[in-house]
A and B are shown apart, each in its own frame.
Chain A
Amino acid sequence: MDAKAQIRAFITKNFYVPDGTTIADDASLLEHGVIDSTGVLEVIGFLEDNFHVTVEDTEMLPENLDSIDRIAAFVARKCGTPA
């Protein structure tokens, strides 16, 4: 599984996505109520454990974490691999 697929799998398994809807790769997770403030911390925990990256406080920004696309791109930048 590539990074984006792993991230999607984590999010759909661990958070509530309403029945019959699929969350688009570029959709805001916060706006769709998929994650909230403690959810953001869970996502970070997953990235740190799974991809062996360290997420700094100053990186906890919507541009890095608020959609599956953005999380994948963020992980790619942190790992130095193309998204």
Chain B
Amino acid sequence: MRSAVPQLQDYLAASAGRLPDKVALVYGARRVTYRELEESSEALARGLAARGVARGDRVLVFGDNTVETVVAFWAALKADAVAVLVNPLTKSDRLAYLLADCRPTALITDGHLEGVWSGAVATPHLKVLAVSGRVNPALRAGHPTLVPFDDLLAEGASRPPIANRNIDIDLASIIYTSGSTGDPKGVMLTHRNMLTAASSISCYLGMVEDDVILDTLPLAFDYGLYQIIMAFRQGARVVLERSFAFPAQVLTVASAERITGFPGVPTIFAVLADMKGLASFDLSSVCFVTNTAAALPVKHIEFMKRAFPGARIYSMYGLTECKRCTYLPPEDIERKPTSVGIAIPNTEVWVVDERGQRVGPGVVGQLVVRGATVMKGYWEKPEATAKKLKPGLLPGEQVLWTGDFCKMDEEGYVYFVGRMDDIIKSRGEKVAPKEVENVLVSMPGIREAAVIGVADDLLGEAVKAFVVLETGVQLSAKEIQNYCQSKLENFKVPKIIEIMDELPKTDTGKVKKTGLR
């Protein structure tokens, strides 16, 4: 690390300097060393800079969990730009929104997603459209900025190094998250924010250089991305998988690679718990298992203790706005299985009432987070930012009002009670009911819609929609779901659709969601 100017990408450079020939990333049949990753991301950064990507520009990376996505993330940082990773399940409308919102000068994507991006990239800000995989020759004529990913790498390799000017309070990344209004909000994170979170989390997890981390979570989801950051900080190895869709395949790889770290979300553990053949996979190398995104049901904790004997089990809780709030030390999991734990190292948390006064043990209030992990705000959304960031203890300092109801016990352990907004957590992903309702009522034939989350063993919460049709219209649940699938990421599509004659309303005519539960 350049100790005076710490930057996130120094993790990769330092590990590449120290362990150049170590395999840093395993992806299918590909085994990529630290040197190769450092060289390709450096070349890509120079290629981006040569085509006009400047300090502070946003670089949008729209791809699956692949080697190219990993290289693109580091390259954006090396170019002094801001990396914006976008879930590959994103549909055209939302991608167009993101492109208009953060106005990136580069989009790095893949040929198989052409159907999504080709209609959305007619934006004046875009100077580079780098496409990995198969590039449709017909598209090149219509997109003068289009360059195959490998060509851009080759171009950059012959360029001189970039004179980096970023300092640690510059932005490293914007991570989009669903807001209750339905419009995505870009969480602005500086190098300092992300370095602090990565150091804090890898320290309490006890990560070491010999770790082999299985990463099946989307890189566009902060915890999926942090697996790469934290492993590279340590000089460890990541086994990257596209998804957890084929558990048997993932577990075969996990066993062959002797993984030591297994990060997951409740849905992954629910799938594992249902697998009859789980015992046929040797997972004895696993030293730690982590859960985030939603509270871990106690029955899953019991299952994890059986499935990963001897492994440390971490139940954790947080939000993108500060990466992570709390973790439950593994030695406390028997004693306090329903707690989400204590503040992560180098941060503080407390609970306040509506007036901002701290409350005593056992009293439910809003959780507040203090520390260098707290975001700089939502990208170009000052009003939404003002609701979350408020003056802290010292002049100029801002603390995060999480919008989550929590309580603390006498020993300072936090218990998550619920969210103040109506966001649904399905499969570990945030779903704003408003966004789904907007899509539903945009469908011809639908007059009104209301969306809630209902408890589901596999998903945590399932998205349920109540729909009122126009008079004389007939629509099946499947037709409505198909329509939603064309507009929304799969995890936002209502799993259950109930067609009603009318929705329960309050006296003022608002939909009464409590009447739907």
Check: B88 CB closer than 8 A to any chain A CB.
Answer: yes
When the two chains form their complex, are residues A56 and B277 in contact, meaning their CB atoms are under 8 A apart? yes
Closest to A28 in B: B112
Q: How far is the CA of A37 from the CA of B244 in the complex (A)?
A: 6
Q: Which residues of the other chain, A, contact B80 by a CB distance below 8 angstroms? A: none
Nearest Cβ on chain B to A33's Cβ, whole angstroms? 6
Q: Which residues of the other chain, B, contact A58 by a CB distance below 8 angstroms? A: 248, 277, 280
List which A8-51 residues lie within 8 A (CB) of chain B: 13-16, 18-19, 21, 30-33, 35-40
Closest to B281 in A: A58
Kindly identify which residue among A15, A18, A31, A62 contacts B64, using a CB–CB cutoff of 8 Å. Answer: A31
When the two chains form their complex, are residues A61 and B246 in contact, meaning their CB atoms are under 8 A apart? yes
Check: B418 CB closer than 8 A to any chain A CB.
Answer: no
When the two chains form their complex, are residues B246 and A57 in contact, meaning their CB atoms are under 8 A apart? no
List which B78-103 residues lie within 8 A (CB) of chain A: 88-89
Q: How far is the CA of A35 from the CA of B280 in the complex (A)?
A: 26
Check: A60 CB closer than 8 A to any chain B CB.
Answer: yes
Kindly identify which residue among B245, B271, B275 contacts A36, using a CB–CB cutoff of 8 Å. Answer: B245
When the two chains form their complex, are residues A36 and B276 in contact, meaning their CB atoms are under 8 A apart? no
When the two chains form their complex, are residues B248 and A15 in contact, meaning their CB atoms are under 8 A apart? no
Nearest Cβ on chain A to B306's Cβ, whole angstroms? 16
Q: Which residues of the other chain, B, contact A36 by a CB distance below 8 angstroms? A: 89, 243, 245, 490-491
Closest to B495 in A: A38
List which B444-472 residues lie within 8 A (CB) of chain A: 458-459
Interface segment among B374-382, B390-398, B478-486: the answer is B478-486
Q: Which residues of the other chain, A, contact B267 by a CB distance below 8 angstroms? A: 37
Nearest Cβ on chain A to B173's Cβ, whole angstroms? 24
* Per-position binary interface string of chain B over residues 220-249, scored 1 when its CB falls under 8 Å from any chain A CB and 0 otherwise: 000000000000000000000011111111
Q: Which among B245, B277, B278, B459 has the highest number of chain A CB atoms within 10 Å?
A: B245
Q: How far is the CA of A17 from the CA of B265 in the complex (A)?
A: 27
Q: Which among A15, A39, A56, A58 has the highest number of chain B CB atoms within 10 Å?
A: A58
Check: B115 CB closer than 8 A to any chain A CB.
Answer: yes
When the two chains form their complex, are residues A57 and B247 in contact, meaning their CB atoms are under 8 A apart? yes
Q: How far is the CA of A70 from the CA of B396 in the complex (A)?
A: 60
When the two chains form their complex, are residues A19 and B458 in contact, meaning their CB atoms are under 8 A apart? no
When the two chains form their complex, are residues A60 and B247 in contact, meaning their CB atoms are under 8 A apart? yes
Q: How far is the CA of A18 from the CA of B244 in the complex (A)?
A: 23
**Chain B residues bordering chain A, tally (CB within 8 A):** 30
Q: How far is the CA of A65 from the CA of B243 in the complex (A)?
A: 14
When the two chains form their complex, are residues A33 and B478 in contact, meaning their CB atoms are under 8 A apart? no
How extensive is the interface on chain A, given as a class? 20 to 34
When the two chains form their complex, are residues A38 and B459 in contact, meaning their CB atoms are under 8 A apart? yes
Closest to B133 in A: A31
List which B133-154 residues lie within 8 A (CB) of chain A: none
Chain A residues touching B, majority SS: loop
Given A30-B243, A30-B245, A62-B246: A57 touches B482 (CB 8 Å cut-off):
no
List which B94-123 residues lie within 8 A (CB) of chain A: 112-113, 115
Q: How far is the CA of A45 from the CA of B89 in the complex (A)?
A: 23
Nearest Cβ on chain B to A17's Cβ, whole angstroms? 9
Closest to B268 in A: A37
Nearest Cβ on chain B to A54's Cβ, whole angstroms? 11
Nearest Cβ on chain A to B281's Cβ, whole angstroms? 9
When the two chains form their complex, are residues B275 and A57 in contact, meaning their CB atoms are under 8 A apart? yes
When the two chains form their complex, are residues B246 and A33 in contact, meaning their CB atoms are under 8 A apart? no
Q: How far is the CA of A61 from the CA of B115 in the complex (A)?
A: 26
Nearest Cβ on chain B to A77's Cβ, whole angstroms? 16
Q: Which among A60, A61, A65 has the highest number of chain B CB atoms within 10 Å?
A: A60
Check: B425 CB closer than 8 A to any chain A CB.
Answer: no
Q: How far is the CA of A44 from the CA of B415 in the complex (A)?
A: 38
Q: How far is the CA of A66 from the CA of B510 in the complex (A)?
A: 45
When the two chains form their complex, are residues A32 and B245 in contact, meaning their CB atoms are under 8 A apart? no
When the two chains form their complex, are residues B115 and A37 in contact, meaning their CB atoms are under 8 A apart? no
Check: B427 CB closer than 8 A to any chain A CB.
Answer: yes
List which B245-267 residues lie within 8 A (CB) of chain A: 245-249, 267
When the two chains form their complex, are residues A39 and B247 in contact, meaning their CB atoms are under 8 A apart? no
Q: How far is the CA of A1 from the CA of B89 in the complex (A)?
A: 32
Given A33-B88, A36-B243, A38-B427: A61 touches B248 (CB 8 Å cut-off):
yes
Given A13-B478, A32-B112: A39 touches B490 (CB 8 Å cut-off):
yes
When the two chains form their complex, are residues B486 and A18 in contact, meaning their CB atoms are under 8 A apart? yes
When the two chains form their complex, are residues B115 and A21 in contact, meaning their CB atoms are under 8 A apart? yes
Nearest Cβ on chain B to A82's Cβ, whole angstroms? 25
Q: How far is the CA of A37 from the CA of B115 in the complex (A)?
A: 21
Q: Which residues of the other chain, A, contact B242 by a CB distance below 8 angstroms? A: 30-31
Closest to B216 in A: A37
List which A58-83 residues lie within 8 A (CB) of chain B: 58-62, 65-66
* Interface of B toward A, CB cutoff 8 Å: 64, 88-89, 112-113, 115, 242-249, 267, 271, 275-278, 280, 427, 458-459, 478, 482, 485-486, 490-491
Closest 8 CB pairs of A and B: A16-B485, A57-B277, A37-B245, A57-B275, A58-B277, A60-B248, A36-B490, A40-B245
Sample (10) of A-B pairs whose CB atoms are under 8 Å apart: A16-B485, A16-B486, A21-B115, A33-B89, A33-B113, A37-B427, A38-B490, A39-B245, A62-B246, A62-B249
* Interface of A toward B, CB cutoff 8 Å: 13-16, 18-19, 21, 30-33, 35-40, 56-62, 65-66
